[in-house]
Structure 1
Amino acid sequence: MNEYETTDLSSLSGQTSNLLGSWADSVQGHGDANELRAHHSTCLGCGPDNPHGHHLQVRRDGQDVVAEHVFDERHVGAPGIAHGGAVATVIDDLFGFLLYGMGSLGVTRSLQMDYRAPVLLGRNYILRARLVERDGRKMHTAATVAHETNFVATARAVFVAVDLGHFTEALSSADRDRSSR
């Protein structure tokens, strides 16, 4: 039995408990599959049921994770250009798939984006992320965003491994706040 099976979700509302439980199960459920499942159905980065989401489809490539993505009008910043926050969102989500590959839950401690050229709407970009180093609970990661052979953005991030209790505590507090209104 692992920590995901033994964490008490009873303090959460039914919907929150179900979502968190299925999310935690999916962390453990990737095995050696090359095509990786969405974090959960409504995830902003990869959830297939989120109408405002990016719908990333991620696969393993050796130790890296890779996705192809086309930014569209939902992601516009300046006319014809993807908003920097939209680009950061997909990179942050891609990094989350690295954690899945390690069977670890984690939270973003820092994310640094370097934009080398405009990320244009309607173009196919290759997103690639890798683990650079693991230092205890800290996971240092790096990513690139490329169109054909041109790197348009790079990123570095630090994630901190946490257990499921980190999320249940935050969500229990949110559920209490909602019910007291």
Structure 2
Amino acid sequence: MKSSFVVPTDLDPVQRHPKAAKAGERMRAHNPMCYGCGQESVEGLRLQMFAGEDFEVTAAMDVPARFEGGPGVIHGGVLSTAFDDVMGMVPLLIGPAAVTAHLEVDYQRPIPIGSRLHFTATLLGRQRRKVYAEAVAHLGDPDQPVATAHAILVTINAREHFADHLSNSAMADEYKARMSRP
């Protein structure tokens, strides 16, 4: 398989951000309407993510019938969405928010409807604004992965990045009020 994912050798030093969730603590959603982790997203995945030791994020997700792709198994796009969201939490352990610039998913085994999927995402390093992460999904046995993923995320200034799109959100007024605060 050809991959364009390469972690540079000249990585910047990183340390856990002083305001990052402590190991074992639940991490705050990207935003309440986030399809991956937002509790206000009616049809979303509603991932609950927890900070791990060092630079890890863990999550679990039930696989209900509405996530079906092939007969009796999860749709690959739902799985890639979950990976995107879990790895998207990793930068929050070291600093500012980031958005996904590159995502690769390797599907290894079918994931049955009705199962519970577990994720662990890990920081591989940072180089300037780029954050490199990897993740593994399994059905309860970490030694038996069902899928793996890699991502490159780019840190952003959230106020600037989302400013032109706030009016598209179901929570537009609330977001505009938040963004106008100093």
Q: Normalization by structure 2: what TM-score?
A: 0.74
2:180 is aligned to none
2:80 is aligned to 88
Give the 3-state SS of the residue equivalent to 1:109 in structure 2. strand
Give the 3-state SS of the residue equivalent to 2:29 in structure 1. coil
Which residue identity is paired with 1:124?
R
Asked if 2 retains the 8 angstrom alpha-carbon contact of 1:46 and 1:55, the reply is yes
- Is 1:40 the counterpart of 2:40? The answer is no
Give the 3-state SS of the residue equivalent to 2:125 in structure 1. strand
**More divergent stretch after superposition (32-41 vs 82-91):** 32-41
1:52 is aligned to 43
Query: Could you tell me the percent identity over the aligned residues?
Result: 32
Question: Could you give the per-residue CA deviations for residues 92-124 of structure 1, whole angstroms, max 9, x where no partner exists?
Answer: 111121122223121111100000001211111
Aligned equivalents of 2:168 and 2:33: distance in 1? Answer: 18
Post-superposition, which runs of at least 4 consecutive aligned residues in structure 1 deviate over 6 A?
A: 172-175
Matches within 5 A, 1:98-109: 98-109=90-101
Aligned equivalents of 2:70 and 2:40: distance in 1? Answer: 27
- Is 1:159 the counterpart of 2:164? The answer is no
Aligned equivalents of 1:95 and 1:45: distance in 2? Answer: 11
Asked if 1 retains the 8 angstrom alpha-carbon contact of 2:21 and 2:51, the reply is no
Give the 3-state SS of the residue equivalent to 1:113 in structure 2. strand
Which residue identity is paired with 1:145?
A
Asked if 2 retains the 8 angstrom alpha-carbon contact of 1:30 and 1:37, the reply is no
Question: Which of the pair is proportionally richer in helix?
Answer: 1
Please report how far the alpha carbon of residue 74 of structure 1 lies from its aligned counterpart in structure 2 after TM superposition: 1.7
Give the 3-state SS of the residue equivalent to 1:171 in structure 2. helix
Aligned equivalents of 1:172 and 1:61: distance in 2? Answer: 31
Please tell me the root mean square deviation across aligned C-alpha atoms, in Å: 2.2
Q: Normalization by structure 1: what TM-score?
A: 0.75
Give the 3-state SS of the residue equivalent to 2:33 in structure 1. coil
Please report how far the alpha carbon of residue 45 of structure 1 lies from its aligned counterpart in structure 2 after TM superposition: 0.4
Q: 1:173 to 1:46 in 2, by over 3 A?
A: closer
1:117 is aligned to 109
Aligned residues: 148
Aligned equivalents of 2:99 and 2:157: distance in 1? Answer: 10
